[in-house]
Structures are given as C-alpha cells and as structure tokens.
Structure 1
Amino acid sequence: MRRRLVPAAPLLPLALLLPLTLLLAACGGNSAAETSTGTDGKGSLTLNVGDQKGGSEAVLRAAGELKNLDYKIKWSTFTSGPPLLEAVNAKAVDIGGVGNTPPVFAAGAHSKIKVVAAWHGTSDGDAVLVPKDSKLSRPQQLKGKSIAVAQGSSAHFQLVASLKAAGLSLSDVKVKYLQPADALAAFVSDKVDAWAVWDPYTSQILQAKQGRVLTSGEGVTNGLSFQVAAPGALADKSKAAAIKDYLDRLRRAQTWVFTHQEEWAKVWAKDTGLPYEVALASVKRTNSTRVPVAVDKPLIASEQQIADTFTQLKLIPRKVDFADFVDTRYNDDLPASTSAPRITGGS
C-alpha cells in the first residue's frame, strides 16, 4: 500500500516517495512489527531467519541461492534492526541481518546475541543532507542548526562522528530524534536544517533534487553490516551447520550483485516498492560495494568505539565489551576487516 507521506511538500515527485513499509525499515528504531513471509527449502531442520524489506531473502532469491536447500528457511520480516535483535534474544529467530549500530544497543541491554558474519562497504550513502537551496556549505556551519536523525540508528553514530570530524559535538546542534517517515516530511518542508540518514533515503533525496550531501560517513564510520545469531542456535550442531551454509550463500549472492547491478536494482525496486531510479542509484552508491570480511579484532575495536561513544552520551546505560558478543567460527579465509578490497562491478 502506498501513501502520500508529505502533502506539505508538493515539490517532491510522488513517484519518488518511499513506500511506508520501507520508511519504517530503519537501521534503528523502535517499531516491533513483524510478518512471516513463507518458507524455502526442504528437510526436517528449519532455520528461522529474520530479515528486513528488500534484504537477505530478496538478494538470495535474485541470485538463485535459494535452490537446493536441504533444510527449510522460515522467513520473518521486521521493520528495523532492534526488534529483529529482540527476536534473536527471545530465540524466535536463529539469525538475521542488521546494520552496525543495533548490535551495540542490544549488547547494552544484555541481549543474548552473537555477531557471526560481517560485510564492509563504502559509507558514501550515509550522509548529512541539506536542502538544495541551503546556505550551508561546510559541516562546521551546522553549529546551532537543527538536524533530524533516528535515535540509535547507524545514522546517529554517523552524525556524532561527522560532527566530531568538524570540531563539533551533539551539544553544538539541535538534534531532532525522528524516524525516517517523519524526518523526510520535516526535511522537505524545511522544518529542519539537515537530515542524517542512510541509503536508499540519500539516493531518494538526490534523485528528487530536493537536497544535496553536506558530508558523508566515508572516512568517519566503519561501513559495516552484520548477520547476528542466537547463541542457542549456534550450540545446536545441525543449526550451526545450516547457518554456515546460509552465510556461504549470502556471500555468493553479494558477489553476484557486483556484476548484476541493474538486475538487482529491478528486483529490489519490485520487492520494496522503491522507484527503479532510486534503487539503482542506491545500489551503485552503496549496495554493490559490500564485501564479506572476517569478524576480527579490528572490527571488534571499531564496534567498541561505537559502544563507548553511546555510553559516554548516556544513551547506553552501561559499559559494553563488544568482544563478548561475537563468534568467529565462520571467518574461514575471509579478508581482514581493515584490508578488504572495494569492489564495484559493472552491469
């Protein structure tokens, strides 16, 4: 179902408005909505997989990696990372994909989770956007300005890091904690001076010519995304083997994206309701740059920095030792998290 989300902003073409289902699918957030999307494969073992709209299931299906499964995958789609990790903690989901910040908050809440796989890509799609006619030209000029961001999301840390790089802190700006649907409305109606957000929202605004990038997360954030598993599933020999196979398929599917950008963009657009132009721009800018990397010490240290930052901001109530929330058994011969090559394939 499509809805006109921002009637106060007639300059934004209706065709480029993100559908409500995707607007809710933030990397952070507090919506607990979840729907079951069916089962793939055969056999007596069922792997319960948590997903987000246009996520793992879509890319696996597009790449042909859901064929010849000797176990079943029961898919459940969540609107964001935090409720997905709540389901992992509750043993309702065996494994699921999230961005770089939800595991930090889950760890801070004593959740029973283990990061088992990681992907590293460009952070160009993580951006602080300003309206196209804004007088702001440098991040330092954000001082005293209002900035929309989803609390606890990957964009939240990107904003903190970008401000720090500009010699500023959160206390130097007026932070408006808004989920993407409300932030989009505020941004296009000039109710905020800037918006810290991630792709495909960045691509949406740029494609609609409603804004421009003031600064991106490249060089200031780690560009990581994760698969996170339940400890109980990892302790089950059969499920642990199924998780290995599932991760192998995901890695091959992401490799397929590198050389099938336009084909993947069409699938992604259909699955999410995104306009094709926005989907393709987002795939080229962000989605096709991701490469699998090892869950290693540099990665843990990078996530520890995020955890420490939010602890210092008193948004996480306790000190988090991120190393306690990883499992490295599926690293295989993957490249180190700090030396993985950037891959950008052609169509």
Structure 2
Amino acid sequence: MRRHSLPLLATLIPLSLALSACGGSSAADSGTAGTAGSGAKVTLSIGDQKGGNESLLKAAGELENLDYTIKWSTFTSGPPLLEAVNAKAVDIGGVGNTPPVFAAAAKSKITVVAATHGSSAGEAILVPKGSALQSGADLRGKKIAVAQGSSAHFQLIASLEQAGLKPTDVTINFLQPADALAAFNSGSVDAWAVWDPYTSQVLRTGARVLTSGEGLVNGLGFQVAAPAALEDAAKSKAIDDYLKRLQRAQEWVFKHPEEWAKVWAKETGLPYEVALDAVKRSNGTRVPVAVDDAAVVSEQKIADTFTELKLIPGKVVFKDFVDTRFNGNLPPSTTAPRSYGKDS
C-alpha cells in the first residue's frame, strides 16, 4: 500500500492559486467608521466560498445599514482562504474544523474568533452507484479523494480509524472539490470524502454514504481572523458587528430553509432540491456557539491526530490561536445542532 504524507510546508495552497474570484463590495448606507486618525471608512476584507456568507447575509437582510465597507474574496475551500488570512489579504473568513489546525501547524498568523456547531451528517465518505463497498473496512487498498487540510480530511482519518484502518492502508488523492467530483464520476477514485452541498449533490445522482461524520467529528466551523485586523480598533469593531450579523443570519436560515435554499441554488447553480437537502442536512442545523474550552479540547484532538500521523510538523497548541473576546453570551460549543427530523 502506498504511503501518502503531506509536505510539511505545503499544507496550504499558495495565495496566487487561491483566489478563484473576487466579489464586489457591500457598502455602507449610512454612517462611517474610520481607521485611527484617518477619517476614512473602514473596509473589512472577508474570505468566502461560493454561495457562502455573502449570499447568506444578503438573503437575511443583514448587509443593510453597514457603517463599514465589505470587500469579498471567494475561495474553493478553507485551506487557501486561511493562506490569504495569513498573508493579510483577508481580514476574516469562515472555514471548517480542520483548516485552522493545518494553518497553525504552518505557523500562520491566524486567530479563531467565532464558532458554530452543526450536524456532521453532511461530512461523509461517498461511493458511486453500484459500488461493491459496504463498510469503512472495505476501503482497504482503495483510492479516496479528499481536499487536503479540509474538514473532510479529518473525517476521513477518523472514519478509517473507526474501521480499524490507517491512512497507509489506502491511497489518498488530494483533490479540490471540482477535480474530486470529476474523478469520482469517472471512476478514477473509489470513494470521496467531502462535505455539503457536495454530499447532497452526489447523493441525488444515486451515490450513497459509506460512512458519515455523525458521532465521529465535532461538527464545528470557525470564523478566523488576521491578528493585525484584531489589533486595529476600527476593524475589530467591524468584525464584532459582522459576527453578530452572521449569528442573526444563521437564525434566519433555520426559520426560512426553503427561502434560503432558493437563494443558495441561484448563487451556486445547484438544483433547488439539492440545495434544500443540504440546508436541512447541514447548512441549516448550525447554532452559533462560543469558542470555549470544550471547543479547544476538541480541536486539540484533531491537531494531535495529525501530529501523530506526521501529517503536520510538530505540536500544535490550539488555544494559542484563539481569541474569546467575541463570545458574549453565546451557548457552549457542545450545544446540540438544530434538527429537521429523521427524514431530513
């Protein structure tokens, strides 16, 4: 079996390859907030993924009456987004539970400032229609696609461990979602470890879940900021407002799943049915939570796992990359995800 390890300093895709597109601005309708002594309006640079927080905030009416300007940049996944945070090209952005660990191991300048807890049902290892694979143990010797350093990467490692396998027992192909989907559809790989909405999209084609992250991974997602942005009083104030808007928008999604699915489908090009599946399975289950001790302990387990496998260099102390100033009165990170019922 082939051993596949991560290059120590190549865990994050270079910034030049990360920016897949740049969106427009969400400008203030009233009021201004300037950087210290400049009198100029603050611009908050936010990293996003297609159909992500920009679309969500717009749909929920939370991009109105800003007293700062937002500059959006779109990324294919969490790792390249955090490379941009490290390079100060982005002030803050949302990622899954694993990218901050890889960024911390690469000694990136990042700070985790907010969290959500959602269902892990959308974190899954998928197999194509007609596959003979029936359990995680059947993956021995098989080719599996996954985005390097993504939340799905840890889900894959944890699923293999649960099945009594090691990463060396399989061939891991590190592919970004678009390439992984092509490989999955062509039969170049036997399975694909991925997240929603890709999970919901592929399941609609007749593929099925071999294993999911439910009860296996922590279901956390994070907003990660550049330390320099947090040190800027005006930007820190804007970040605080942005996080509160995100919290309200997440509440709106849970109350309006069909409406959000329509917007999400239009933004991403997904069929409405796929978007609604993903909203109910994953996207709409998220609860804003505190970045508390329990979250740190859970993330430390992820870091220690990758260190033991020699997939990241050295020891990562996750709490050193956390800032709790924005926790406010948020519930603990162990708060149960929202649920649309067993049939969702």
TM-score (ref. length: structure 2): 0.88
Distance, in Å, in 2 between the alignment partners of 1:144 and 1:36 is 40
Consecutive unaligned residues of structure 2, counting only runs of 5 or more, are: 1-11, 33-40
Equivalent AA in structure 1 for residue 301 of structure 2 = Q
Which SS does the other structure have where 2:224 is aligned?
Answer: strand
Q: In the TM superposition, what is the alpha-carbon distance from 1:125 to its structure 2 partner?
A: 0.6
Match of 1:36 in 2: 22
2:336 to 317, 325, 341: 341
Structure 2 CA distance, aligned partners of 1:127 and 1:246? Answer: 30
Residue number in structure 2 paired with 1:289: 285
Task: Please give the alpha-carbon distance, in whole angstroms, between the structure 2 residues aligned to 1:275 and 1:187.
Answer: 19
Corresponding position of 1:221: 217
% of aligned pairs identical?
69
How is 1:327-338 mapped onto 2 (pairs within 5 angstroms)?
327-338=323-334
What value does the CA root-mean-square deviation take over the aligned residues? 1.8
> What is the distance in 1 between the residues matched to 2:103 and 2:266?
31
Aligned-residue offset at 1:345: 5.7
Contact 2:76 2:176 (8 Å CA) reproduced: no
CA distance in 2: counterparts of 1:152 and 1:78, whole angstroms: 14
What is the letter of the counterpart of residue 238 of structure 2? A
Query: Retained in 1: the 8 A contact 2:117–2:336?
Result: no
- CA positional deviation for 1:323: 0.7
Query: How far apart are 1:65 and its partner, in Å?
Result: 0.5
Do structure 1's residue 105 and structure 2's residue 102 form an aligned pair?
yes
Distance 1:137 1:82 in 2: 31
Aligned mate of 1:147, from 125, 144, 149: 144
Counterparts in 2 of 1:329 and 1:194: CA distance versus 1, 3 Å: same
Give the secondary-structure state (helix, strand or coil) at the position aligned to 2:18: coil
Question: Within 2, Cα distance between the matches of 1:149 and 1:79?
Answer: 13
Deviation string 1:229-249 (CA, Å, 9 cap, x unpaired) is: 111111122211111111000
Query: 1:186-208 CA distances to partner (integer Å, 9 max, x unpaired)?
Result: 22232322211111111111111
Stretch moving more, 76-85 or 160-169: 76-85
Q: For residue 80 of structure 2, what is the aligned residue in structure 1?
A: 83
Which residue does 1:135 correspond to in 2?
132
Q: How many pairs align?
A: 318
Equivalent residue number for residue 255 of structure 1: 251
Alignment of structure 1 residues 46-65 onto 2, 5 Å: 46-65=43-62
Bigger Cα displacement from structure 2, 287-296 vs 30-39: 30-39
**Structure 1 segments unaligned to the other structure (5+ residues):** 1-27
* Residue 216 (structure 1) shift: 0.2
Give how far 1:34 is off. 4.3
More moved, 60-69 vs 174-183: 174-183
Check 1:257–1:79 CA distance in 2 against 1; reply closer, same or farther (3 A cut).
same
Tell me by how many angstroms 1:29 deviates: 5.8
Asked whether 1:96 is paired with 2:93, we answer yes
Counterpart-to-counterpart distance in 2, 1:183 and 1:49: 26
Deviates more, 1:135-144 or 1:234-243: 135-144
Contact 1:29 1:150 in 2 (8 A): no
Contact 2:119 2:338 in 1 (8 A): no
1:273 is displaced (CA, Å) by: 1.5
2:193 match: secondary structure:
strand
Aligned to 2:322: 326
**How far apart, in 1, do the equivalents of 2:22 and 2:208 lie?**
37
Q: Is the 8 A contact 1:258 1:345 kept in 2?
A: no
Q: Distance in 1 between matches of 2:183 and 2:236?
A: 45
Paired residues of 1:29 and 1:179 also in contact (CA < 8 A)? no
2:171 & 2:112 partners in 1: Cα distance? 33
TM-score (norm 1): 0.87
Question: Do structure 1's residue 74 and structure 2's residue 71 form an aligned pair?
Answer: yes
